[in-house]
A = this chain, B = another copy of it.
């Protein structure tokens, strides 16, 4: 690999294979997930994998090809929490440029309080606002999403929150 300008008018250096000349573009990745709600409680997952093993997160993961943002969010909720949900509206869109990611969270209504977490999750548990382990939240995007949710719940009106973490 060599980093140089491609020959197509592109203005940024790209990783180009010195053998086959393939341009390997590197672009931000989307992380998609849900904020599952049951009554006055929300679902968090205790991470069983790095990074942030042993910290609490909302169910979320990398968006895959051939799915929409909400389909990816539903898939991750199933994989990480084994939770039965009805998908709700888009709630937060958070850019994290220093890791090259955009995190998108949907509100979701839990249809059951029984969970079947996958191997990535030690435990899936419901928390009231007062019970949220704020000092042990895995990611800032999750903390921001939870904060905005509880603030919006006070007003009774849920918006779409576009936040940049810089």
Contacts and interface: CB of A to CB of B under 8 A. Distances in A.
B119 A9 contact: yes
A12 B63 CA distance: 12
Given A27-B30, A30-B28, A93 B69 contact: yes
Given A9-B119, A67-B97, A100-B65, A90 B162 contact: yes
Interface residues of A, number: 33
For the complex formed by this chain, how many copies does it contain in all? 2
Contact of A93 (B29, B71, B93, B119): B93
B93 A26 contact: no
A18 interface: no
7 contacts: A30-B102, A63-B102, A65-B100, A68-B97, A69-B95, A70-B162, A89-B162
Interface of A: 9, 12, 25-30, 62-71, 89-90, 93, 95, 97-98, 100, 102, 104, 119, 159-160, 162, 164, 166
